[in-house]
Amino acid sequence: MNNIFSTRELASIIWLVAILATLWVWSKGRFHLKEIAKSAFAPKLTITYLSLIAYVFLIVVLLWQCNFWNLSLLKDTIIWFIFSALGVFFSLNKVKDASYFGQLIKDSISVTVIIEFFVNLYAFSLLAELIIFPCLVFIVALSAYSEISAKTNKEHKKVNSCLNQLLGIIGLIYMGFALYKTIMEFKTVPWIDVSKQFILPVILTVSSVPYFWGLALYMKYESMFVASNRFFKDRSKIERLKIKIYVLYYGNFSFKRVYRIWKKIGFLAYEEGTNYRKYIKQVASSPTYKKTPIINKMSIQLFNDIDACCKSLSSLEIGELSEWNQLHGLDEFYCSNSYYCIQPYGLSNLLLSLQGEELHIHQLELSLSIHSIEEREEAILKFRECVEVIFRLLLLEVPQYISNSILRNESCSYSNNSFSLEFTVEIIGKVESFVLLVKSKKKT
């Protein structure tokens, strides 16, 4: 075993077996383990696991044919499959566009990965690793919990900061130990084998991108087709088949095109005599503003460039803005973020939206809904912070009394030759609402 696994890996295996054995002896734990196993090995998932194993096996065979892979890399291949490939598989529902896979490749060769690999080259004795492992897991878990709880309790920020510093010190100790061992055993280390161990996960990750790309697309198409069967249940089988063929043709291999179709396809169910091909082709295409030169029509400069405005507003860190969409049956366009909760699992939320025409933004709206008195102070501070960032990003010179009005919960308005803004406070039942509306005037 020592020739196959390092003492660190053996310690991890021993603790994992001990935990699983404890859960199996405990009746409730055994029940939950069985339920997890049933969910994890559902028929569809099992088929996907087998297809992924087959794909990785083909990659390994090719690497073996190229004299790169050998049996000494089997353990590293299995570890990559369990902790990397399956991790990517279970996060494919988050894929929105091709940038996900670019980031995946970057992460596989990041500085953090290089440091982790270097640190794991050497391990302490088995007894030391058995003691260190649970302690390290406990500190990491406590750090993650304190980071979440710090959002609602400011005192926990100090705890989180101390834990992070402690993890940093532990990381430096591991680094120092690895560096010492490397210097002392430099001449005896088989660096060719070590370099292969480092490069292998990168090669496997990069070569697996086509598989994950195809699987992610398949998942999105499948979800869309299941929904479309409900949308068009009153249509004939031939019509439903036509719709699916046009969706596949115009969506092709683009996540963005598939997402655009997915957002608009439901409207087809309420229209009679619509040309399916023309409609799906239209909704799948890129927004017009992406293919049109920027014209400075609005006085607020950033409102003339929809892409740049959306990217700038991402610095608010309250969620990404959607693509510029046309309101069905109208000449108005909009985009918005998903509701941003002030506290994890809280009720109070922020919503940012932009409205305008096809090529220009006319107005920005930031709304805050406070549903809980416990969240009120934090919600108002977050709203005020967002307002100040918005003013800075839009390069607006706004009187100081606007910020003061937000703190005093007083409605106010302001206007000049370039823009107008309005801040309103409303109480409807138990819900308190704050709304900031910024409108740009057109250049004369």
Residues 6+ apart with CB under 8 A from 222: none
More confident call, 151 vs 53: 53
425 φψ region: left (φ > 0), alpha (ψ -120 to 50), beta (else)? beta
H or E segment at 59?
Answer: helix 43-65
pLDDT at 212: 93
Displacement of CA 420 from its chain's centroid (Å)? 35
More confident call, 147 vs 247: 247
pLDDT of 143 higher than 70: yes
DSSP class of residue 288 equals G
Categorize the per-residue pLDDT at 112 as very low, low, confident or very high, splitting at 50, 70 and 90.
Answer: low
Q: First vs last Cα of the chain: how many Å apart?
A: 79
Q: 27 is written with which tokens?
A: 């009746």
pLDDT of 224 higher than 60: yes
pLDDT in tens, 33-50: 888 888 888 888 899 999
pLDDT of 161 higher than 90: no
pLDDT at 198: 84
pLDDT of 117 higher than 80: no
Mean pLDDT of 335-350: 86
Enumerate long-range contacts of 421-424, CB under 8 Å, 24 or more apart.
421/396
pLDDT at 299: 92
pLDDT at 209: 92
pLDDT at 64: 93
Instruction: Indicate the domain borders of the chain.
Output: 7-212, 232-285, 292-440
Across the chain, mean pLDDT equals 85
pLDDT at 433: 92
Mean pLDDT of 124-129: 84
**What pTM value is reported for the model?**
0.74
Q: 132 is written with which tokens?
A: 């260190």
Identify the three-state secondary structure at position 380.
helix
Q: Percent of the chain having pLDDT more than 70?
A: 96
Give the residue among 389, 7, 46, 325 at the shortest CA–CA distance from 181.
7
Q: 201 is written with which tokens?
A: 């996960």
Identify the three-state secondary structure at position 232.
coil
From the number of C-beta atoms within 10 Å of its C-beta (0-12, 13-18, 19+), residue 379 rates as: buried
pLDDT at 55: 95
Identify the three-state secondary structure at position 314.
helix
Q: 5 is written with which tokens?
A: 């696994």
pLDDT of 56 higher than 60: yes
pLDDT of 1 higher than 60: no
Categorize the per-residue pLDDT at 104 as very low, low, confident or very high, splitting at 50, 70 and 90.
Answer: confident
pLDDT in tens, 170-185: 888 888 888 888 788 7
Range with the poorest average pLDDT among 86-90, 161-165, 309-313, 365-369? 161-165
Categorize the per-residue pLDDT at 152 as very low, low, confident or very high, splitting at 50, 70 and 90.
Answer: low
Q: DSSP letter string over 104-163?
A: HHHHHTSHHHHHHHHHTTS---HHHHHHHHHHHHHHHHHHHHHHHHTTT-TTHHHHHHHH
